[in-house]
C-alpha cells in the first residue's frame, strides 16, 4: 500500500508539473501574440506619421513661399515659379461630386434589385459581374474612356446637354460648350463606373443582414416592396450604407490614371462641367516626372498633402456621421 501511495503521489506531482508547464507555455505564447499585434498597430501609426512628416517637409518650401495664397490661387506657371492649387482642388471636388451623384442611386438600385427583386438564377451572375468591375485596372478604364466614351459623348450627350440647357439661366453656364468629349463630366462618369462596384457590393452585403422576420412582418401588414425597402431595409442598414458610400468617395477622390486620360489636364476653373480641368492626383501624375527641383516639386508634394488632408476630412466626417446615427438609434 505504501509503494502504491508513493506512485500515486508521484503521478500527481508529475501531472501538476506538466499542467504548470503547459500553462506557462500558453501564457508565453499569449504574451508573444499580444506584443506582435501591439507592434503591428504601432507600426501602422508610425508609418502614417512618417508619411505626414515627409509630406509636410517636402511641401514646406511651397507653403512657406505662397502661404494661404497657394490654396486660393488658380494660376499654375512652372516657367515663372507661380503655383496655385485652386484649380486641382476644384476639379477633384467637382468630378467626385458628379461621380457620387451618379453612382450612389445606381449602386443602391442594383443592390436592392439583387436582394429583393432579382430571380435567384440571376443573382450570382449579376453579382459576379459587378464584382469583376472592381478588379479592372484603372488604366483600362482610362483608355476605354479616352478612345470610346469621350468620342461618343462628344457626338451625342454633350451637344444634347448644350442644346437643352442653353436657354435656361444658370444651367446654361453649367453645360456651356463647346463639346470636347473630355472634361469634368467625362471624368465623373468614369469615376462613377469605377466606384459603382464598391457601393453595390457593400450595400448588397448590408441589405442581406436585415432579419427576414422584419420584412415578412412589413409584407404581412400590406406593405409593397418599395415601402419595405424604404421603411425597413434602408433604416436598418443605414450605418453600413454610409460606410460604403464614404469608401467609394475616398476611391473617387484619389483616383489617378483613369481621370488623367479623360479630364483634359487644364489648370483652369470653369463653371461648365463639359470643360477640361485637372485634379490633384492627375496633376501630380502628369508633372512629377518632369518637375525641376525647388518650388515646382515642392508644389506637387503640397498637392499630395492637400489630397491627404481632404481624404482625412472626408473620413472624419464619415466617422462623425456614423457616430451620430448610432447614437440616434441607440447603438
What DSSP string describes 36-55?
Answer: HHHHHHHHHHHHHHHHHHHH
Angle between helices 234-254 and 184-207 (to 10 degrees): 140
Contact 266, 277 (CB under 8 A): yes
Give the global pTM: 0.88
- pLDDT > 70: percent of the chain: 94
pLDDT greater than 60 at residue 101: yes
Q: What is the pLDDT of residues 107-155, one digit of tens each?
A: 999 999 999 888 888 888 888 888 888 889 999 999 999 999 999 999 9
Mean pLDDT of the chain: 89
Residue 329 scores a pLDDT above 70:
no
Helix (H, G, I), strand (E, B) or coil at 290: coil
Tell me the CATH number for domain 86-329. 1.10.3720.10
Calpha distance 281→58 (Å, rounded): 16
Amino acid at each position: 500500500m505504501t509503494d502504491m501511495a508513493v506512485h500515486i503521489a508521484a503521478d500527481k506531482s508529475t501531472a501538476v508539473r506538466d499542467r504548470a508547464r503547459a500553462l506557462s507555455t500558453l501564457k508565453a505564447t499569449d504574451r508573444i501574440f499580444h506584443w506582435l499585434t501591439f507592434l503591428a498597430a504601432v507600426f501602422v501609426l508610425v508609418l502614417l506619421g512618417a508619411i505626414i512628416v515627409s509630406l509636410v517637409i517636402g511641401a514646406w518650401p511651397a507653403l512657406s513661399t505662397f502661404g494661404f495664397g497657394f490654396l486660393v490661387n488658380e494660376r499654375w506657371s512652372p516657367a515663372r515659379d507661380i503655383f496655385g492649387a485652386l484649380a486641382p482642388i476644384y476639379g477633384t471636388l467637382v468630378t467626385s461630386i458628379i461621380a457620387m451623384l451618379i453612382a450612389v442611386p445606381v449602386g443602391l438600385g442594383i443592390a436592392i434589385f439583387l436582394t429583393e427583386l432579382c430571380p435567384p438564377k440571376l443573382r450570382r451572375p449579376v453579382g459576379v459581374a459587378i464584382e469583376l468591375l472592381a478588379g479592372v485596372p484603372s488604366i483600362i478604364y482610362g483608355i476605354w474612356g479616352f478612345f470610346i466614351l469621350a468620342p461618343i459623348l462628344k457626338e451625342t450627350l454633350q451637344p444634347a446637354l448644350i442644346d437643352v440647357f442653353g436657354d435656361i439661366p444658370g444651367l446654361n453656364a453649367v453645360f456651356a460648350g463647346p463639346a470636347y468629349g473630355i472634361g469634368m463630366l467625362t471624368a465623373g462618369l468614369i469615376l462613377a463606373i469605377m466606384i459603382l462596384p464598391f457601393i453595390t457590393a457593400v450595400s448588397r452585403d448590408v441589405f442581406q443582414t436585415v432579419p427576414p422576420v422584419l420584412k415578412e412582418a412589413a409584407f404581412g401588414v400590406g406593405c409593397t416592396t418599395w415601402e419595405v425597402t424604404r421603411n425597413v431595409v434602408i433604416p436598418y442598414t443605414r450605418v453600413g450604407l454610409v460606410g460604403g458610400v464614404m469608401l467609394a468617395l475616398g476611391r473617387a477622390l484619389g483616383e489617378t490614371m483613369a481621370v488623367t486620360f479623360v479630364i483634359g489636364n487644364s489648370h483652369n476653373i470653369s463653371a461648365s462641367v463639359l470643360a477640361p480641368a485637372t485634379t490633384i492626383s492627375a496633376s501630380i501624375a502628369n508633372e512629377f516626372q518632369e518637375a525641376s527641383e525647388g518650388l515646382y516639386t515642392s508644389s506637387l508634394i503640397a498637392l499630395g498633402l492637400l489630397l491627404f488632408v481632404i481624404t482625412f476630412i472626408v473620413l472624419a466626417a464619415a466617422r462623425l456621421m456614423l457616430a451620430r446615427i448610432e447614437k440616434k438609434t441607440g447603438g
